[in-house]
Structure 1
Amino acid sequence: MTRLKIKFSRKQADIIRRPFNYELEVNEGTPRSGKTTAGHFRYARYLIESPDENHLIAAYNQEQAYRLFIDGDGTGLMHIFDGNCKIKHDEHGDHLLIDTPNGTKRVYYKGGGKANSVGAITGMSLGSVVFCEINLLNMDFIQEAFRRTWAAKLRYHLADLNPPAPQHPVIKDVFDVQNTRWTHWTMDDNPILSEERKQSIIQSLKKNPYLYKRDVLGQRVMPQGVIYGLFDLEKNIKDNLVGEPMEMYFNGDGGQSDATSMSCNIVTRHREDGKTFFRLNRVAHYYHSGAETGQVKAMSTYAVELRAFIQWCVSKYQMRYTDVWIDPACRSLREELHKLGIQTRGALNNAHDVSSKAKGIEVGIERGQNIISSGQFLLINHSEEEYDHYYFLKEIGLYSRDDNGRPIDKDNHAMDEFRYSVNVFYKKYANF
């Protein structure tokens, strides 16, 4: 058994020790504020006290639920209860089975980011639910999760999130209608961040008022600076591919410490009112960040995993693909893919594009904004959690401009290859 040695801030210690006299507790604030670590230990306390046997951790997908709260980067439930827990599986799914002084507890971990996610918890009886990044979860899933705890003996819900836009439906439809205790967090609440590190983060975000207010001050901010702010979680996300499939192609952007991102795109043809038009459907996504996971992979490893992703998409959608477009700067990745028999082309990265209103990458950004607002761009969910749109949705909510109006070179790996895919779409189908 390993012994956790953790220094808590005053706020973290207060949160952990509070009585369980609210049915919903919300920890909202900046990234790296220590709110999730406090949540790990608060919830561990709850599990020891609760007389209920079955509980749930929910995130956008199951992988995130495991990473954020079961493992928790070394402070999650499996480490707190080390020696007294094990990963198990039963008819309700994967869970952490924990032996506590108050009986055995089953903590299921599931994805709740899609419209069909609700089926995974229908019929379950739960004592509590933890909502990780609740603003990214499907609202029907959230509401059903609250219904699953109606018969609990010690009913409890814990949610965490970075500040959403002020009009986000989770505020009005969840926080404002429940018996809620809300706690605000900033970087000052995290005892492991040095003043030097905090100042470094502040300086890097000062150029962008939106990110500074959101990620330093922890404020809910209207996303005026977000480049693709017109993206609509209902209008631009569908559960099924509609129309006549015309072409499948892939776009990728690579890095080792930075993220490697590749999308599968299917163009569909539609006829309405006697007119023909096309849609760009983003149907699957591979994403891995060496910086975020702490696991840096060789380009040869990325190539093998990207080949598996391409093969998965071909099998899933029963289509042959036309091209694999890779950022021209990623020469080593292209070479590794060529060794595996996958021929690539240099992505259309707007390096020499000029339009009447823009030039360079602004041409691609303008095109992306156009097809998002017109409804010609859709994210298509699939039933499997592998290769879903979690990282695309995170980046599209953060990709923004600095004070001088220039796109910030941050949170943009999926955004770059999205732009490449839009450029291909425009080149072939924009005149229809």
Structure 2
Amino acid sequence: MAQMEIDFSSKQQDIITRPFDHTLEANEGTPRSGKTTAGHFRYALYLSLTPDENHLIVAYNQEQAYRLFIDGDGTGLKHQFGQLAKVKHDELGDHLEIQTPIGTKKVYYKGGGKADSVKAITGMSLGSVVFCEINLLHMDMIQECFRRTFAAKMRYHLADLNPPAPNHPVIKEVFEVQNTRWQHWTIHDNPILTEDRKQEIYNTLVKNPYLFKRDWLGQRVNPQGVIYGMLDLDKHTEKTLLGKPYEMFFTADGGQSDATSVSCNIITRYRNKFKLNRVAHYYHSGAETGQVKAMSEYAKEIREFVRYCVDKYEMRYHNFFVDPACKSLREELRIVSLETRTADNNAKDLKGSSKGIEVGIERAQNVITNGQFYLVDDDKYDHYYFIKEAGLYCRDDNGKPIDKDNHSMDEFRYAVNYFYKRYVI
């Protein structure tokens, strides 16, 4: 493995080398603050010292657990241990097997965003747990993880998160309960960001008070500026589809460097009300992953996504709506035998004082508030990115929706428009 030379900030150096004398260490702060990189090196040191063999990294889904801490954009565990680490699988699941001076360590990586995630760790005995984006994990999974380490010889837990709302349950039920060492982070703690890049980020965030407080100052902020702040994951998530199915349809928004987002939606009749159920989500961001795909490749993957949904729910679909601006995606989908229609993007809408996308946003807010929208759990195509975008989608100082981090939000609006006009009005 090629050696990397990394300049750590003083805060990162302190975090990495401090004694392991707390049950939980929580790194909370802004995106791009360097907290996760410090966590990689901190945890690698711990694994080199602990006598315990089995350990766990948990994120919203298994893919994120691998991406955030096993790979970690080049500083994750597999890179730090190099040839001493191999990805393997045994009866307890996928893991990174690491050879250390004091013995073999197995670091399992699993998803923890769903109510039944605890099944994946039942019976496991662990020395430590890393919680990636702990505020997105299900509380049952978090608490079970702490129970799984009771017998550890060198018990340790590490969590990172961007600032949640001040009343988020993870604060009172986890941080204030455990023997916690809490560390605050901001962009200024990341030594690799140049002053020019910091200024660029500042210029973007300062336009919105909510994002400025959360993503620049690293403060916990009530989501008044978040457009879909009424979305409650406990209230609006179901394990299975409820009610009589009426129709399946798909909506999409996409681009090559921007994110491509496709959702499968099923309309049901439940308790004498029509419901819009978002049952599966395909999402890929070239900008976020650094892997830009051709539109033809997207089309093939989306075709597999559609087949998966049709087979799982044993339903046919007749409508596949795509953002009118995504002409190349529509053409590639046609080539792989997926016929599409242009989505209703609210371009011609006018309702009272609302016009354009505000009409669609108002409809979406209404179906959430009225209990007509649900996320339905799926093991393969879950709602991680939808949930992330829903937490970021907000308004600027002029009250206009910020056109950023909103691709699944846009195709969600297209789905709502179809549902609203066909089943609500």
- With the shorter chain as reference, the TM-score category is over 0.9
In the alignment, what sits opposite 1:173?
173
In structure 2, what residue type is equivalent to 1:356? G
In structure 1, what residue type is equivalent to 2:98? I
In structure 2, what residue type is equivalent to 1:326? V
Shift of 1:323: 0.5
Shift of 1:340: 1.1
In the alignment, what sits opposite 2:252?
252
Q: Does the alignment pair 1:316 with 2:312?
A: yes
In structure 2, what residue type is equivalent to 1:394? K
In the alignment, what sits opposite 2:294?
298
Q: Does the alignment pair 1:40 with 2:25?
A: no
Q: For 1:277 and 1:114, how far apart are their aligned partners in 2? A: 26
Residue correspondence of structure 1 range 24-35 to structure 2 within 5 A: 24-35=24-35
In the alignment, what sits opposite 2:373?
377
TM-score (norm 1): 0.98
Q: For 1:175 and 1:321, how far apart are their aligned partners in 2? A: 46
Q: Does the alignment pair 1:423 with 2:423?
A: no
In the alignment, what sits opposite 2:385?
391
Q: For 1:153 and 1:89, how far apart are their aligned partners in 2? A: 24
Give the one of 368, 387, 402 matched to 1:408.
Answer: 402
Q: For 1:168 and 1:100, how far apart are their aligned partners in 2? A: 38
In the alignment, what sits opposite 1:103?
103
Q: For 1:5 and 1:78, how far apart are their aligned partners in 2? A: 17
In the alignment, what sits opposite 2:7?
7
SS at match of 2:260: strand
User: Does the CA contact (< 8 Å) of 1:4 and 1:80 recur in 2?
Assistant: no
User: Does the CA contact (< 8 Å) of 1:84 and 1:99 recur in 2?
Assistant: yes
In structure 2, what residue type is equivalent to 1:212? F
In the alignment, what sits opposite 2:359?
363
Residue correspondence of structure 1 range 26-425 to structure 2 within 5 A: 26-271=26-271, 276-382=272-378, 384=379, 386-425=380-419
**Aligned-pair identity (%):** 72
SS at match of 2:354: coil
1:84-134 alpha-carbon deviations (Å, 9 max, x no partner): 110111000000000001111000000000111100001000000000000
Q: For 1:181 and 1:129, how far apart are their aligned partners in 2? A: 15
Q: Where does structure 1 differ by over 4 angstroms across 4 or more consecutive aligned residues?
A: none
Q: For 2:4 and 2:119, how far apart are their aligned partners in 1? A: 36
Q: For 2:177 and 2:228, how far apart are their aligned partners in 1? A: 30
In structure 2, what residue type is equivalent to 1:403? D
User: Does the CA contact (< 8 Å) of 1:213 and 1:221 recur in 2?
Assistant: yes
Shift of 1:2: 2.5
SS at match of 2:207: coil
Shift of 1:240: 1.1
In structure 2, what residue type is equivalent to 1:308? E
Q: For 1:204 and 1:53, how far apart are their aligned partners in 2? A: 45
Q: For 1:112 and 1:178, how far apart are their aligned partners in 2? A: 19
1:60-83 alpha-carbon deviations (Å, 9 max, x no partner): 000000000000000000000001
Shift of 1:304: 0.8
Q: For 1:2 and 1:23, how far apart are their aligned partners in 2? A: 34
1:192-251 alpha-carbon deviations (Å, 9 max, x no partner): 000000000000111100001100000000111000000001111111110000000000
User: Does the CA contact (< 8 Å) of 1:250 and 1:265 recur in 2?
Assistant: yes
In structure 2, what residue type is equivalent to 1:243? G
1:240-286 alpha-carbon deviations (Å, 9 max, x no partner): 11000000000000111100000000000124xxxx32000000000
User: Does the CA contact (< 8 Å) of 1:323 and 1:344 recur in 2?
Assistant: yes
In structure 1, what residue type is equivalent to 2:349? D
SS at match of 1:106: strand
RMSD between aligned alpha carbons?
Answer: 0.7
Q: For 1:241 and 1:234, how far apart are their aligned partners in 2? A: 15
Shift of 1:138: 0.5
Q: For 1:116 and 1:427, how far apart are their aligned partners in 2? A: 35
Q: Which runs of 5+ in 1 are unaligned?
A: none
Once the two structures are overlaid, the 10-residue window that deviates more, 349-358 or 173-182, is 349-358
Q: For 1:22 and 1:221, how far apart are their aligned partners in 2? A: 27
User: Does the CA contact (< 8 Å) of 1:348 and 1:423 recur in 2?
Assistant: yes
User: Does the CA contact (< 8 Å) of 1:133 and 1:159 recur in 2?
Assistant: yes
Q: For 1:358 and 1:119, how far apart are their aligned partners in 2? A: 46
User: Does the CA contact (< 8 Å) of 1:2 and 1:82 recur in 2?
Assistant: no
In the alignment, what sits opposite 1:18?
18
Shift of 1:4: 2.5
Q: For 2:410 and 2:328, how far apart are their aligned partners in 1? A: 18
1:325-353 alpha-carbon deviations (Å, 9 max, x no partner): 00000001001111111110000100000
User: Does the CA contact (< 8 Å) of 1:60 and 1:112 recur in 2?
Assistant: yes
Q: For 1:285 and 1:233, how far apart are their aligned partners in 2? A: 16
Q: For 2:276 and 2:199, how far apart are their aligned partners in 1? A: 42
User: Does the CA contact (< 8 Å) of 1:37 and 1:75 recur in 2?
Assistant: yes
In structure 1, what residue type is equivalent to 2:332? E
Q: For 2:265 and 2:370, how far apart are their aligned partners in 1? A: 18
In structure 1, what residue type is equivalent to 2:150? W
